[in-house]
């Protein structure tokens, strides 16, 4: 009989009544043992990427999408063990909330205060965060450089901005400039990171760790003193959005990485190209954070080529 694969979006009500939800009109084969929780979640590319990985490794399971609202997270997490799940990914708005709702959080997630991957291990829910390491691998893949050799400017100090900034700090980047619309949030993040920047890697007249407001003059000054600019704001999610930094402020020497992903160029990547600079969108970060999650779940390397093809 032909196998039934899932294309559906499940809910908390389905998890509460899992046998029924996955039986009608006929039993799902292979069974769902992994998924992503989010609200919204319909746009998530994780199912196509992770299902390709599972097929490539001949692991007889499926990865599904779960529309779980903020106030439903605790209930949704509580049933995963009895349903024999291997783990889940978390996306907006669950990453921060989950950190206090699971049994154990590893160092990567604790330092960020956010969890994007949960593994069920001997009945316990363990949390990890693969966004930062995924970002680091994406930069190496896109631009053939390591963060430790770069002067980085990050736009945004929310979940993604924190993951990017923390990773740059942990890898001892040359310099880090945090830019955020709400200045206080950027300052708070810099305070958390300052111990990483006390080393002797100082050159030039600019500080190694700096916070600036979202102002044209300040950004223009910094462009000459950074190599990589990362957009970690939602600016560009809508095609009609302007680039977070316009082409006229960019320069050919910078590399632009937009954590926003899509099939075509994001407004920021277009601005980079217009300025004669190199640009890449966030698909590579999505790929690598997913590959690292797969490694956590199955304790084996992810089939990265199959995952990349699926995206």
Q: Is 108 in the site for ligand NAP (CB under 6 A)?
A: no
Residue 142 engages ligand NAP in binding (rule: CB under 6 A): no
**How far apart, in Å, do the first and last CA atoms of the chain sit?**
28
Verify binding: residue 70, ligand NAP, rule CB under 6 A.
no
Residue 168 touching ligand NAP (CB under 6 A): no
Instruction: Say whether residue 156 binds ligand NAP (CB under 6 A).
Output: yes
257 - beta bridge partners?
230, 280
**Of the residues 55, 185, 220, 308, which one makes contact with ligand NAP according to CB under 6 A:** 185
Residue 289 is a binding residue for ligand NAP (CB under 6 A): yes
Least Å from the CB of residue 281 to ligand NAP: 8
For residue 166, what are the CA distances in angstroms to 64, 120, 139, 176, 260? 30, 26, 15, 10, 19
Q: Is 161 in the site for ligand NAP (CB under 6 A)?
A: yes
Residues 210-249 that bind ligand NAP (CB under 6 A): 232-235, 237
15/286 with CB nearer ligand NAP: 286
The dihedral through the CA atoms of 196, 200, 204, 205 has a sign that is positive
Binding flag, residue 150, ligand NAP (CB under 6 A): no
170 flagged as catalytic: no
Tokens describing residue 111: 């330092």
Cα-to-chain-centroid distance, residue 164: 9
Place of tokens 């003059």: 217
259: contact with ligand NAP by CB under 6 A: yes
Q: Which stretch binds ligand NAP (CB under 6 A): 45-53, 119-127, 157-165, 194-202?
A: 157-165
Q: Output b/e per residue, 23-49; b: 16+ Cβ within 10 A.
A: eeeeebebebbbbbbbbebeebbbbeb
Question: Sign of the C-alpha dihedral, residues 232, 140, 226, 266?
Answer: negative
**What is the smallest separation between the CB atom of 203 and ligand NAP, expressed in angstroms?**
28
Structure tokens at 103: 């049994």
CB 250 within 8 A of CB 279: no
Q: Does 256 bind ligand NAP (CB under 6 A)?
A: no
Position among 108, 130, 136, 180 found at the interface with ligand NAP (CB under 6 A): 180
By CB under 6 A, which span of 117-125, 176-184, 198-206, 221-229 interacts with ligand NAP? 176-184
- Rounded CA-CA distance 272/299 in Å is 38
Query: Residue 265 interacts with ligand NAP (CB under 6 A)?
Result: no
- Please tell me whether residue 285 binds ligand NAP under the rule CB under 6 A: yes
Classify strands 117-121 and 87-90 as parallel, antiparallel or unpaired: antiparallel
Q: Which positions touch ligand NAP (CB under 6 A)?
A: 92, 131, 156-161, 180-182, 185, 232-235, 237, 259-261, 282, 285-286, 289
Active-site residues, by number, are: 95
């Amino acid at each position: 009989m032909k196998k039934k694969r899932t294309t559906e979006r499940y809910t908390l009500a389905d998890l509460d009544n899992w046998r029924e939800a996955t039986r009608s009109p006929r039993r799902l084969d292979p069974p769902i043992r992994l998924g992503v929780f989010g609200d919204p979640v319909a746009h998530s590319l994780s199912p196509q990427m992770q299902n390709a990985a599972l097929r490539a490794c001949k692991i007889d399971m499926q990865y599904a999408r779960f529309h779980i609202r903020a106030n439903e997270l605790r209930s949704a997490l509580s049933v995963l063990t009895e349903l024999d799940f291997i783990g889940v990914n978390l996306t907006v708005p669950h990453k921060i909330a989950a950190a206090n709702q699971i049994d154990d959080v590893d160092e990567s997630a604790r330092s960020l205060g956010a969890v994007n991957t949960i593994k069920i291990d001997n009945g316990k829910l363990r949390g990890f965060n693969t966004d930062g390491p995924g970002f680091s691998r994406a930069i190496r893949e896109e631009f053939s450089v390591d963060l430790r050799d770069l002067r980085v400017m990050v736009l945004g100090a929310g979940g993604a901005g924190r993951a990017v900034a923390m990773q740059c700090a942990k890898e001892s980047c040359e310099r880090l400039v945090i830019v955020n619309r709400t200045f206080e949030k950027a300052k708070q993040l810099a305070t958390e990171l300052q111990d990483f920047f006390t080393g002797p890697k100082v050159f030039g007249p600019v500080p190694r760790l700096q916070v600036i407001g979202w102002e044209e003059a300040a950004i223009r000054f910094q462009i000459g003193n950074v190599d990589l600019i990362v957009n970690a704001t939602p600016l560009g999610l809508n095609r009609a959005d302007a680039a977070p930094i316009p082409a006229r402020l960019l320069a050919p020497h910078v590399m632009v990485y937009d954590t926003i992903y899509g099939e075509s160029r994001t407004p920021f990547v277009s601005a980079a190209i217009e300025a004669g600079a190199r640009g890449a969108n966030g698909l590579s970060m999505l790929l690598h954070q997913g590959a690292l999650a797969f490694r956590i779940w199955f304790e084996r390397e992810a089939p990265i080529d199959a995952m990349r093809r699926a995206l």
